[in-house]
């Protein structure tokens, strides 16, 4: 991470110029803005296909899901992210209709709705590589949910 003052000194530029350039780089998703500076965006390996991730480490995911389900009590509200491990956890909660679920994970919606659980689906753009939703609409919904807590 680099702070603005360090960047100004290193490049011999004004603070206004550095801040403007950081905004452009952040808009292009080449950096992530931080308080007072910026950090490089790490390069990521291409994401594995959904079917590969669903089949990968299935026993371990199920063991994690089973252990996690023991911490969830009747009446709890649980957020499921778009992961395949969260989908494994959903299988363990299908018999617990008093648990409320908030999720962007489309893999769990049908399964848990059929089991009678209360579900709040976070909207947004569908990401087919994970069968989850994301984007500005999802952020708005999450902000509204968290402000009501």
Domain ranges of the chain: 2-40, 50-147
Average confidence (pLDDT) per 10 residues, the chain, 149 residues: 80 89 81 68 61 78 94 93 88 90 89 91 83 78 67
pLDDT tens profile 138-147: 777 777 776 5
Does the model's pTM come out above 0.75? no
Quote the CA–CA distance of 81 and 91 in Å, as a whole number. 14
Q: How many residues does the chain have?
A: 149
CA distance 75 to 142: 20
CA distance 136 to 134: 7
Taking the domain 50-147, which CATH number applies? 3.40.50.1360
């Amino acid at each position: 991470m680099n702070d603005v003052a360090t960047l100004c000194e290193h490049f011999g530029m004004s603070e206004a110029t550095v801040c403007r350039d950081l905004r452009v780089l952040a808009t292009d998703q080449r950096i992530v803005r931080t308080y007072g500076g910026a950090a490089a965006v790490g390069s990521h390996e291409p994401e594995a296909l959904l079917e590969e991730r669903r089949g990968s480490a299935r026993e371990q995911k199920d063991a994690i899901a089973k252990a996690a389900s023991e911490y969830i009590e009747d009446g709890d509200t649980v957020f499921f992210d778009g992961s395949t491990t969260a989908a494994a956890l959903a299988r363990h909660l299908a018999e617990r209709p008093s648990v409320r679920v908030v999720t962007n994970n489309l893999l769990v919606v049908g399964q848990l709705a059929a089991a009678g659980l209360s579900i709040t689906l976070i909207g947004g753009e569908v990401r087919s590589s994970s069968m989850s939703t994301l984007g500005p609409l999802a952020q708005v919904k999450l902000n509204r949910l968290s402000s009501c807590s």
